[in-house]
Structure 1
Amino acid sequence: MSVPRLRDDRLSDGPTPDNGPAGTVRRTSRARPAAHPLRSELLRGVGPWTGAATVTIIALTMYSKAPGWQARWTGATDLLRITALMLCGPLAVATGCWQGGRERRRRTGELLASLPRTRLRRSLHAVAPAAFWPPVGYLVGAAGCLLATWPYAGEGHPFVSLIAADAVALASLGTVGFVVGRLVAWRLTAPLLAVITYAGLGIPRYGEADARWLDPATDHFYFWDRPVWWFGPASALWTGGLACAALLAYAARHRVVALVPLAVALAVAVPIVRTGDDLWRPDPEAARFVCDYGTPQVCVTAVDRKLLPETSAALAGLNARLRGIPGAPSRWIDGPRAPEPGRDEVRLPSPGDSAVHGRLPDPVFYANSAVGYLFSEDCDQLDFDSPGAARATVVNSAVRQWLAPRADFDTFPWPEAQSQLRRLEAMDHAQGRAYLTRYLAADRCDPDEVPVP
């Protein structure tokens, strides 16, 4: 009698007549496809850390200077450009240099050269972290700063084309650093190249030659200008063309192709240099006046229009004292245009320079500064050492405190000014208006004409 042979259905590769369709079928696992080399390069090594460091540098630097840049789009864009190029630029070029010397440090150059990939393709994969992560970190930080500016900025918009050009410049610095790292076998090349980059980007900013605009770190702190439409794209082509030419000259099979991006870079450099300071043009819409309905009238430019209510409130007490006084200004103005003497206009301290999150933190000090603008005179010849000049200085200080009191005036080491202030405060309404009329009518360039209370 034969013994039936037992069979373990768990080891069956498929259905059989014995186990039928209900039998257990073993499924073979499929191998997971290998990751693309470019993805591996981007997600490993120093690249992601460089992107995180770039975001951190931008965040800390911009936060330390806030809220001075939050009131205007131009201020935010200009400070972002300086931070990105002057601080993150050396980091990008050092990262590229370190990345370029990786195969030499690992002694894997001969192994990689034996692969069927071309030298240019291997170089493009290797340079990707240095060319990708610094601009990505910058764009993330810039987006956060622009979102922080949006609730408080007035008229205008950020210069997106210049922000994109800054990102291209960071990628270009990383690429140039990579080429240098491949060519120079010295461990201190990366920090030395970072120092050279910082100096090379910073020194042209302080010059006056038109060629300084080829430096991507050159800024333009003027709130009522805008760049010409082609400046951002041309700047990106200039820096990107130089970087592409350097990479192709190193890695391309036919190095003559490097002349193509080099020619493009030189072609766009010519109009940049020839245009010079005219790359920035006056923006009439940004300089447009936005005024209240008070007397004297308070006018700020459109870039500070959100600060007009705060400015009017800060000057309300001062305007009440000046209202109806002969010689008082008809309106306060701020902006690039000079006051017109025939219209009795007086320069106003720029509210955007001292605003904090859309508000004036010290309206009393702002009003006192406005009085200083009201009493300022351009005197060609004035002897400050004469007794009359000293007396006029004391009287001016007392009148300024009388019109816009400051809490710290008692700490001033001028007992004479305290005495003059008490005389002014003792005047009734009619006496005060009469004295203020005489004071505004006097020639303050002649100390002897300044009336004593």
Structure 2
Amino acid sequence: MTATLTPPRTGKPRPVSPLRAELRRGLGPWTGAAVLVVVLVTMYGKGGWQGRWADTTNLLHVAAGVFCVPLALAAGCRQGGRDGRRGTAELWESVPRPPLRRLLVAVAPSALWPAAGLLLAAAVCLLSTWPYVSAGRPFLELLAADAATLAASGAVGHVTGRLVRWRLAAPLLGIVGYVVLVFSAYAENATRWLGPAGEHAAHWDRPVWWYAPASVAWTAGLALAALLAHGLRPARLRPLALVPLAVAVAAASPILRLPQDEGPWRPDPALARPVCDDGVPQVCVTALDAKLLPQVSAALAPLNARLKGLPGAPVRWVTGPHGATRPGDVELPDPWEDSVRGRLTRPDLYRNAAVTWLFSDTCETGALAGPAAERASLVHLAVTEWLAPTPEDYGPATTGAQPYIGRLRAKSPAEQSAYLTRYLAADTCDPDEVPFP
């Protein structure tokens, strides 16, 4: 029996890329996973952001800036001090590769994994928002700028870990970064827009086109300057680090000239334009909430049936940043505040809030004083409860107004319309003018 011999392999083993090897080991993958979990848990815990792109983007921005940047700093610092803890720093210095190239390969996990974790979490959140939005677009450029900020934070943390060989350097750097970010987010000047945690809550705005590129240049310029200052050899080449530093300063200059309150955000007329139904009174919401219009109209239908055709009744119910702009306009509460995932959760409560806004006169101090003030207040409450009763599980008791509510309900439809006409024509800030049912 003759044994079959397998000839030895003559091919050379496939070389492993140093960058690929670095990306697959160490804290990098764990940092990316931690960023993903932190962002998703934060978004899930907050809730209420599915329905408007601005809310989704803003909460992602805050979660990345407040929680993930300190995490990237600490993890990068820990990763950067790895060779110092192992005592292999001198061994790496003897490798025949340019120092800057070695540094860039070593920094890659600290920079790329946090950015990848944020982008994956953002993709999940944007996909979960997409079915419920009515208009607008996600601000992808701001999310890209946030990812660049995380990458820059990881790089700066890595360089810090190489320079400061202290075991507590990583957690201390993360804590300091968190404190600085929180204070910068609430700064009463334009520096709040330099940090990655500046919050903006206006729903009908959009960022100026140059803000995201300037933010990338600002954070990336600082990180690249730190990398060049640490990795360039010989020492005479280190002044080249001033080039990205100058770019960072130049990018920060227009950001610092932004208005303190509005920052880089400007009104978007396309989002604020009214979208109306065909009812009487007419119900108008902004294009941002167009999908909610049928539900808002249905919620206000019983109220509109009582107000239709009465002198002094609203001509239009309007909501949005511009408010009432025509005679006969009455502002509505923001329907988004009472909706979850594109559904108006409490139509009865929303209808009651609309009536409250209808009769919310701004009276001078002391106007509602005098013998008839208490009685007039009960009449106001009775008319509100008659038109749109407060849900039983919400709001104060209406015991004192029950007699007036009973009288209103006992009237015939014609008598109810006549009384409501007199009530709408009265000056509700003058108790003596309020008609009693």
TM-score, structure 1 length as denominator?
Answer: 0.91
Matching residue of 2:196: 216
Do residues 41 (structure 1) and 22 (structure 2) align? Answer: yes
Q: Which amino acid aligns with 1:248?
A: L
Q: Which is further off, 287-296 or 30-39?
A: 30-39
Partner of 2:337: 353
1:442 aligns with 2:436: no
Deviation at 1:106, TM superposition (A): 0.9
Asked if structure 2 preserves the Cα contact closer than 8 Å seen for 1:382 and 1:446, the reply is no
Alpha-carbon displacement from aligned partner over 1:216-264 (angstroms, at most 9, x marks no partner): 2112211111111111111111111111111111221221111011011
Greater Cα offset, 386-395 or 243-252: 386-395
Judge which range, 107-116 or 410-419, deviates more: 410-419
Q: Distance in 1 between matches of 2:178 and 2:168?
A: 16
1:57-92, CA deviations, whole angstroms, 9 ceiling, x for partnerless residues? 1111111222x1111111111111001111111111
Please list, as runs of the form range in 1=range in 2, the aligned pairs for 1:297-316 lying within 5 A after superposition.
Answer: 297-316=282-301
Give the whole-Å Cα distance in 2 for the aligned partners of 1:349 and 1:420: 27
Q: Which letter does structure 1 place at the counterpart of 2:411?
A: M
Alpha carbons 2:72, 2:153 under 8 Å: kept:
yes
1:360 partner amino acid:
L
Q: What does residue 285 of structure 1 align with?
A: 270
In structure 2, the residue matched to 1:432 is 416
Is 1:54 matched with 2:38? no
Mean alpha-carbon deviation: is it higher for 310-319 or for 413-422? 413-422
Offset of residue 205 of structure 1 = 2.1
Quickly say closer, same or farther: Cα 1:173–1:410, change in 2 above 3 A.
closer
Residue of structure 1 in register with 2:4 after alignment: 10
Q: Distance in 2 between matches of 1:438 and 1:208?
A: 49
Decide which of 273, 279, 282 is 1:294's aligned counterpart. Answer: 279
Amino acid corresponding to residue 257 of structure 1 in structure 2: L
Tell me the SS of whatever aligns to 1:299. strand
Q: Find the aligned partners of 2:123 and 2:394 in 1 and give their Cα distance.
A: 46
Equivalent position amino acid for 1:323 in 2 = K
Partner SS for 1:286: helix
The one-letter amino acid paired with 2:131 is P
Give the Cα–Cα distance (whole angstroms) in 1 for the partners of residues 244 and 200 of structure 2.
Answer: 28
Secondary structure of the corresponding residue to residue 298 of structure 1: strand
Q: How does 1:236-385 map to 2 (within 5 A)?
A: 236-253=216-233, 254-276=237-259, 277=262, 279-340=264-325, 343-382=327-366
User: Does the CA contact (< 8 Å) of 1:181 and 1:190 recur in 2?
Assistant: yes
Alpha-carbon separation, structure 1, partners of 2:141 and 2:378? 52
1:408 aligns with 2:397: no
**Counterpart amino acid of residue 272 in structure 1:** I
Task: Report the alpha carbon displacement of residue 411 of structure 1 after superposing the two structures with TM.
Answer: 7.3
Specify the alignment match of 1:195 in structure 2.
Answer: 175
Counterpart CA distance in 1 for 2:393 and 2:34 is 46
CA distance in 1, matches of 2:171, 2:434: 62
Mapped partners of 2:185, 2:432: distance in 1: 46
Task: Flag the 1:288–1:248 CA change in 2: closer, same or farther, 3 A.
Answer: same
Please name the residue that 2:100 is paired with.
120
Quote the Cα distance in structure 1 between the aligned partners of 2:211 and 2:75. Answer: 28
How high is the TM-score relative to the length of structure 2?
Answer: 0.94
- The alignment status of 1:64 with 2:41, answered yes or no, reads no
> What is the total number of aligned residue pairs between the two structures?
432
> CA distance change for structure 1 residues 32 and 210 in 2, over 3 Å: closer, same or farther?
same
Shift in Å at residue 27 of structure 1? 4.8
Inter-partner Cα distance in structure 1 for 2:353 and 2:10: 78
Instruction: Return the offset for 1:165.
Output: 0.4
Question: 5+ unaligned residues in a row in structure 2: which ranges?
Answer: none
